[in-house]
Structures are given as C-alpha cells and as structure tokens.
C-alpha cells in the first residue's frame, strides 16, 4: 500500500513510513531519557509492541545508531540488556527535527 504526502508529494510504502516513525520515536526517547536505557524501560516509554521494538532496535544497531550491551553479571535470566544512542543516532535525530 502506498502513501503520498499531500504537502510535498513524497510517495512511500505505509510500512516504510511506520518504521521511520518508530525509529524516530526510539532514538528521540534514548536521547531524551538516556544515555542508556534497558529494553524494558524502552518498551514502557515508547509503548511499542515487543516485536516492533526488537525489530527496530536490531535495524538501528546494524546501522550503528545504537549500541546494545548485555550485562553478564548478576546471574539473572534473561540478562539485563541496555541500549545506548551513538553519535550516528544523535545525528539522525537532529536531521529529523
């Protein structure tokens, strides 16, 4: 399904538009609430579904916009996972503003 912006005429797939909004939400949340947030905190703050959050965080990590850190201490299962915004992610947030 295609979406066309009535103001500028830009056309994109609906899935693409949604994913960009989700990415922007995650990055802006990390920038505002960070420097590092646990996965569960991001889930609560963004109010995304667990699947959507995981998918977009994987994309952002692959692009170098976030760093994923898994805590090995404490013997907890699942181990605490935190995400931290990188300089690349900060630039993306500023470009979208």
DSSP string, 6-57: TTT--EEEHHHHHHHHHHHHHHHHHHHH-SEEEHHHHHHHH---HHHHHHHH
1/16 Cα distance (integer angstroms): 10
Over residues 1-39, the pLDDT tens digits come to 565 667 766 665 555 556 788 999 999 999 999 889 999
Among all chains, which residue has been given the structure tokens 């979406």? 3
* % of the chain beyond a pLDDT of 70: 81
| Domain 10-96, CATH | 1.10.10.10
pLDDT for the residue 4: 67
pTM: 0.76
């Amino acid at each position: 399904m295609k979406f066309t912006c009535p103001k500028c005429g830009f056309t994109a797939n609906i899935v693409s538009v949604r994913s960009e909004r989700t990415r922007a939400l995650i990055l802006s949340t990390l920038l505002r609430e960070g420097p590092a947030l646990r996965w569960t905190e991001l889930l609560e703050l963004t109010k995304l579904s667990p699947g959507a959050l995981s998918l977009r965080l994987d994309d952002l990590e692959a692009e170098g916009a976030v760093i994923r850190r898994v805590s090995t201490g404490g013997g907890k299962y699942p181990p605490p996972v935190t995400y931290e915004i990188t300089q690349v992610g900060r630039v993306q947030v500023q470009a979208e503003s």
